[in-house]
Structure 1
Amino acid sequence: MKIAPASRRALALLRPPAEATRPLFWQAPRRWQRWSPYVVAGVFVLVLLPVTITVLANDYRLDGGWAGALGVAQTVPLLLAVTRPLPAWLIVFGADVLGALVLLHGETAGRSWPWTPTVIIGYLVLMVCLGLRETTRTLVVLWLVTGAASVALGAFAPRGSSSTYVLLFVLSGVVLAFAGAVRTRAEAERRVAEQETISEAERAQRTLLEERARIARELHDVVAHHMSVITVQADSAPYRLAGLDEAARGEFESIASSARESLGEMRRLLAVLRSDGSGGGGGERAPQPGVDRLQQLVEATVRAGLPVGLSLSGELPALPPAVDLSAYRIVQEALANVVRHAPGATTRVSVTADGRHLTVVVVNGPAADRTSPLEGSGTGHGLVGMRERVRLTGGSLDTGPLPDGGFRVAARLPLDPTSAPELPL
């Protein structure tokens, strides 16, 4: 059996999306908050159902069957409004209109018509559920339908009754406007929070890429030195070593040619990494620092107003270039973090070697009482560079706050270059 396209579209409209069937407050962090809409709706149903039946039977003199049927149809769907407010509105609104028509045959003198007090209360509760879930366009349509039905019924108002069609129209509009404003504000705050999360992730990724590019530039300077030595030695080998046959000479020429080609590729890569987007190729040309320049770094930091102490374990062995540079950069970044987040804090820098590893420890105490941090809250991006440099050398990094309010940075870098894993930049 084939279904016509129009029928398929109608069925699609009747089948709500998954988002529309989720209960109110389903994203609340606590369980009692997620269950609160059901509790509130259940309380209103338990209170309004007997009161509605009693009012219809005693005050409006309706038959017990009509009073019970209208009472159930006007109140019980409030439970459905927690998950599907639109279908609940269709049921309640239809029952309210039907109840107004049935009341024409009851006792209405001196009583509210077409909407009884219990109908108004239940309808306003339903408006809250609609306002917290539906779009502004849907809310306006529902409000206009409510007003049109009120005006149409008002034309048949029985004598002696107290008209309530204007009251329901005004109150429902106020409730819809308030609930819709709350929903709009909540959605705006959620979008802002999502955007902040995305922006924070983008900043962290950008910091990571910038630090990796910086490491690549510095690694070029380290490797280029060794490649230059290889080139010079390979070119001069035939002149320094007598008795080389043609095969050996050709091998040295091949080594020198490969080394020069690698240097050229590295220089072209360096030009890209050091470019600032303006077409200039000016970059840092100074030799890369190492552990031997930590004393100068500490003295400069002390002159900036930060009390720093440096401890070196006597004569350090010859360090691999990557380890030497990484140790300096880790200390440099750690001291910069102390200046930013704990100005005036007493800081200790310790560099020791045990023959297999180089250990770098930077510990600072809490910020001085008379000063305030230059940055109220840290993003942790300063630690990204430390982690990348430790990964480059195959070492380990331990960072974290101390019980006294200070902070500790400890890096352990292997002195054997062959033990470091090959990690792509």
Structure 2
Amino acid sequence: MKTLTIADGRRFAVRQLRTLRRHLTTPSEDDTPLLGNSRRRWVRRLPYAVAIILQASLIPTGIVCLISFYDMVLPVAAALTIAQTAPLLLAITRPLAAWWITAATLVTTATITAHHPKVMGSWPWTAPMILAYLFLLLALGLRESRATVVSVWVATFLLTVLTTTLGLPRAGDGTTVLLIALSGAVLLLGWAVRDRAVARRLLTEQEQISEVERERRTLLEERARIARELHDVVAHHMSVIAVQAASAPYRIEGVPADAAEEFTAIAGTARESLAEMRRLLGVLRSEDTAGEKTPQPGVGQLAQLAETVGRAGVPVELTVDDGLAGRVPQAVGLSAYRIVQEALANVVRHAPGARVWVSLSADGPELRLTVVNAPPPQRTESLEASVEGTGQGLVGMRERVRLVDGRLDTGPLPDGGFKVAAAMPLDPPESPDTPGE
């Protein structure tokens, strides 16, 4: 077991004194005045009003006490009292600096009054000076950190013992203990009030964060509910369409072969739409969207998409570089498929009958995708003319391209057509959203 020596004790005392000095010389970084964060104007001005009232009452009485009890001349009594009381205004914004001024004033006053005959057995300070010091400690406890508050109380203890016990010809009648207890109680009160205010502020912030989270969760739940309701409504009608189209050649006599083939195509399209809606609804119902296991469409399914749109009366000419489907990553292929799907859907809605050219090619490290449609063969009204443009299709394209760190360019052509051009890297950045829809 290591034996403590006098040198160890000396080093420990030096370290403690350095820590005490650091806390007494490092003020709080918050420059906000006391009660300056209050929303009410009168509360923000209350500390200044209290400081002015205290000065107006303590300065005259302090001067009178020093002159009457210690036979001081007026200039000295006024200087000491003002130096002790004036820092109350400074304590609103700089309590630690104000404490240094008042502490120095207390030491000076005790040095002057220590050997006065009337001080034998009593305080070397007047009651107004003690009251001013206690109010200043209250302001300091409301503003400074816990370490600074403890350091100020330790310094007050040391100063009180040195000035009231060692500096007097004989010890006082318990006033030293009383002053130390009062200063500790006031500092503890200020620190407790400050901690309570900080705790309430943190609780309010946490409640606001919780409220935002609740609103966000409610919004997501509402979206999921709407999606389920939409699925139930649309799925019913799509199921009816699929059944009617599939059974039409059997229910209606003398259906031509072309019409029967068209009915079969309509039934297949309806079934595909139902399957995709169920897949999207599964994503909304699942807590882990990354668990999507249904194969997603890509470049290899563009021919089937073009054929489906062609049956809707929009001729599509698709050009894909040989072997490109095997080089395109899943995320880029899915984005390319959805962009082409949305572009063709826009042609069907806004330019029915217009010819469309779709091309996909590899240009170095990028996939170049272009969808260009000619103007409609005749002036026809858009299928969505009665609905103000939602603009969600282009927004969805941009989100798809941004997902894989690509670029998108859209806009009308001089001849009345429309162009959608996208460039996406064949080696996109990894994203947690790429595995699913």
Cα distance change, pair 226–196 in 1 and its aligned pair in 2 (3 A): same
Q: Deviations over 1:326-365 (max 9, x none)?
A: xxxxxxxxxxxxxxxxxxxxxxxxxxxxxxxxxxxxxxxx
Cα distance change, pair 111–42 in 1 and its aligned pair in 2 (3 A): farther
1:174 is displaced (CA, Å) by: 1.3
- The residue aligned with 1:244 is 258
TM-score (norm 1): 0.55
- The residue aligned with 1:204 is 215
Partner AA of 2:102 in structure 1: V
Distance 2:279 2:31 in 1: 59
User: How do 1:207-222 residues align onto structure 2 when only pairs under 5 Å count?
Assistant: 207-222=218-233
Larger CA Rg, structure 1 vs 2: 2
1:128 is displaced (CA, Å) by: 1.3
Q: How many equivalent pairs are there?
A: 271
Q: Deviations over 1:39-85 (max 9, x none)?
A: 11111111111222222233212343332221121000001112221
Partner AA of 2:175 in structure 1: T
TM-score (norm 2): 0.54
1:135 is displaced (CA, Å) by: 2.6
Partner AA of 2:220 in structure 1: L
Whether contact under 8 Å (2:38, 2:44) holds in the other structure is yes
Cα distance change, pair 201–139 in 1 and its aligned pair in 2 (3 A): same
Q: Deviations over 1:22-41 (max 9, x none)?
A: 12222334222221111111
1:92 is displaced (CA, Å) by: 1.0
User: Is 1:28 aligned to residue 38 of structure 2?
Assistant: yes
Distance 2:241 2:146 in 1: 73
User: How do 1:106-121 residues align onto structure 2 when only pairs under 5 Å count?
Assistant: 106=116, 108-110=118-120, 112-121=122-131
Distance 2:191 2:171 in 1: 37
Distance 1:160 1:187 in 2: 42
1:15 is displaced (CA, Å) by: 7.4
Cα distance change, pair 138–53 in 1 and its aligned pair in 2 (3 A): same
1:200 is displaced (CA, Å) by: 2.5
User: How do 1:10-49 residues align onto structure 2 when only pairs under 5 Å count?
Assistant: 16-17=28-29, 20-49=30-59
- The residue aligned with 2:235 is 224
User: Is 1:183 aligned to residue 194 of structure 2?
Assistant: yes
1:195 is displaced (CA, Å) by: 2.1
Q: Is there any run of 5+ residues in structure 2 with no aligned partner, and where?
A: 1-21, 289-383, 393-437
Matching residue within 85, 91, 97 for 1:87: 97
Distance 1:258 1:133 in 2: 71
Distance 1:14 1:139 in 2: 12
1:169 is displaced (CA, Å) by: 0.5
Q: Is there any run of 5+ residues in structure 1 with no aligned partner, and where?
A: 1-9, 278-415
2:258 counterpart SS class: coil
- The residue aligned with 2:61 is 51
Distance 2:183 2:27 in 1: 27
Decide which moves more: 113-122 or 37-46: 113-122
Matching residue within 149, 166, 178 for 1:167: 178
Whether contact under 8 Å (1:213, 1:273) holds in the other structure is yes
1:163 is displaced (CA, Å) by: 6.2
- The residue aligned with 1:158 is 169
Decide which moves more: 82-91 or 228-237: 228-237
User: How do 1:112-151 residues align onto structure 2 when only pairs under 5 Å count?
Assistant: 112-151=122-161
Distance 2:119 2:98 in 1: 31
Identity %: 49
